[in-house]
């Protein structure tokens, strides 16, 4: 099967959407399919690279709306001609904006189906584009309904997203398929002396417990809550390690200074993806206060690394974080405090339980399972395709 994946986001940028796309491309290729990616360039150039299976188009920056966002007004004729000549059997869109519009056009010309993965809960991002939250949510619902009902099938990474889309009146088939991850690199344990050396390089005292947060540093991730809770605990034996970068980092650094928490919160910045597993294992507990996730790949990576999790309760964590088994979901400061010290004492979490939790995560979120489930959606979409949708933007 020839599969064209379209996306506004791609390497070298690092985020959950790109991780999902790269893993999907890799596993589908291993399954014997020919996969190519159409994306936007941050430069004024066009690139066709068959060896890499990559097409890039020039685009315009929309950083004032959302950091790193880009938009293409038209499609390059050479790229379009090359794709039409290649003639994919199906198109899998990963973003709802300019690349979706282009993908829909290619779909209509070639008379092939289009499958879409809905990665982002835009309701939680209205502060970037709307002064009125209520109006912003309504606009998101109407826009999402229009886009998704012009595809042949929709993939939602969690039940939370499926219910959200049904609330938007999306009528196309919705398949819940968690993003698969290559978890082998996360399950390889570091030696105690390696962890000790790594902690020392970050000036973390040996007698301190480390709470680790991994991901994009943005307002919707709600890291202020974790920092505030730590300030209330007033525990000098705790350190918060913030791994990642983003538009909200400077604001958080100012907040840390305001609370006099500077010695206890360490901003690592952007890290090479190859080194991410080491940062998870450096932590005693993985923490997150975000409720804007569609799936939360960092939660899964942390659990696969054998690190227990403490996260704000959210529907995307159903069947991911199970209280008392691999961590806890909290709803208040009091719960955060109680669960945190339960996890740090770890008297009830022996190594056998941790290994069982690790194995369950690896089985559920394996990249092989992901590939087979997505492949099944493709076959069904091709079989049922009638080319009955009309889309315009």
Q: Are the beta carbons of 301 and 279 closer than 8 angstroms?
A: no
> For residue 257, what are its two tokens?
């200074």
* Run of H or E including 208: none
Q: How far, in Å, CA of 215 to CA of 307, rounded?
A: 16
- At residue 371's C-alpha, the angle toward residues 365 and 377, to 5°, is 115
Domains of the chain: 2-180+367-391 (3.40.50.2000), 184-365 (3.40.50.2000)
pLDDT at residue 125, as a whole number = 58
Check if the beta carbon of residue 114 is closer than 8 Å to that of residue 90: yes
pLDDT at 120: 84
Residue stretches of the chain with pLDDT short of 50: 65, 127, 129, 389-393
- Looking at residue 391, its pLDDT comes to 45
pLDDT digits (tens, 9 = 90+) for 335-372: 999 999 999 987 666 676 667 777 778 888 889 999 99
Q: What is the pLDDT of residues 377-389, one digit of tens each?
A: 999 999 999 765 4
Task: Go through 164-178 and write b for each residue having 16 or more CB atoms within 10 A of its CB, e for each that does not.
Answer: bbeebebebebbebb
Contact 144, 164 (CB under 8 A): no
At residue 326, what are phi and psi to the nearest 5 degrees? -130, 15
Determine the Cα–Cα distance for residues 60 and 351; give it in Å rounded to an integer. Answer: 51
What is the pLDDT at residue 364?
82
């Amino acid at each position: 099967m020839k599969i064209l994946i379209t996306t506004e986001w791609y390497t070298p940028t690092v985020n959950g959407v790109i991780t999902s796309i790269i893993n999907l491309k890799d596993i589908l290729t291993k399954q014997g399919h020919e996969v190519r990616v159409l994306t936007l360039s941050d430069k004024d150039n066009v690139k066709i690279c068959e060896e890499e299976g990559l097409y890039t188009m020039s685009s315009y920056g929309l950083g004032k709306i959302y950091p790193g966002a880009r938009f293409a007004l038209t499609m390059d004729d050479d790229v379009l001609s090359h794709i039409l000549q290649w003639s994919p059997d199906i198109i899998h869109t990963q973003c709802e904006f300019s690349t979706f519009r282009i993908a829909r056009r290619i779909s209509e010309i070639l008379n092939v189906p289009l499958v879409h993965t809905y990665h982002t809960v835009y309701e939680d991002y209205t502060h970037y584009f709307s002064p009125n939250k209520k109006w912003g949510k309504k606009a998101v619902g109407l826009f999402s309904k229009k886009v998704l009902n012009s595809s042949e099938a929709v993939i939602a990474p969690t039940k939370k997203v499926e219910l959200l889309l049904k609330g938007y009146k999306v009528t196309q088939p919705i398949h819940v398929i968690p993003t698969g991850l290559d978890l082998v690199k996360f399950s390889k344990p570091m030696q105690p002396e390696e962890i000790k050396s790594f902690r020392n390089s970050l000036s973390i005292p040996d007698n301190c417990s480390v709470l680790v947060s991994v991901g994009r540093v943005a307002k919707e991730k709600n890291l202020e809550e974790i920092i505030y809770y730590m300030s209330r605990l007033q525990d000098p034996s705790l350190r918060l390690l913030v791994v990642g970068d983003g538009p909200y980092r400077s604001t958080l650094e100012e907040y840390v200074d305001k609370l006099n928490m500077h010695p206890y919160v360490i901003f690592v910045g952007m890290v090479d993806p190859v080194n991410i597993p080491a940062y998870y294992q450096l932590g005693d507990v993985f923490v997150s206060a975000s409720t804007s996730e569609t799936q939360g790949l960092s939660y899964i990576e942390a659990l696969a690394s054998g690190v227990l999790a403490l996260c704000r309760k959210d529907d995307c964590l159903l069947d991911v974080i199970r209280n008392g088994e691999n961590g806890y979901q909290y709803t208040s400061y009091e719960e955060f405090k109680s669960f945190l010290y339960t996890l740090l004492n770890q008297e009830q979490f022996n190594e056998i339980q941790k290994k069982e939790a690790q194995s369950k995560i690896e089985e559920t979120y394996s990249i092989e399972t992901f590939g087979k489930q997505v492949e099944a959606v493709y076959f069904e979409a091709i079989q049922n395709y009638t080319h009955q949708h009309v889309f315009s933007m």
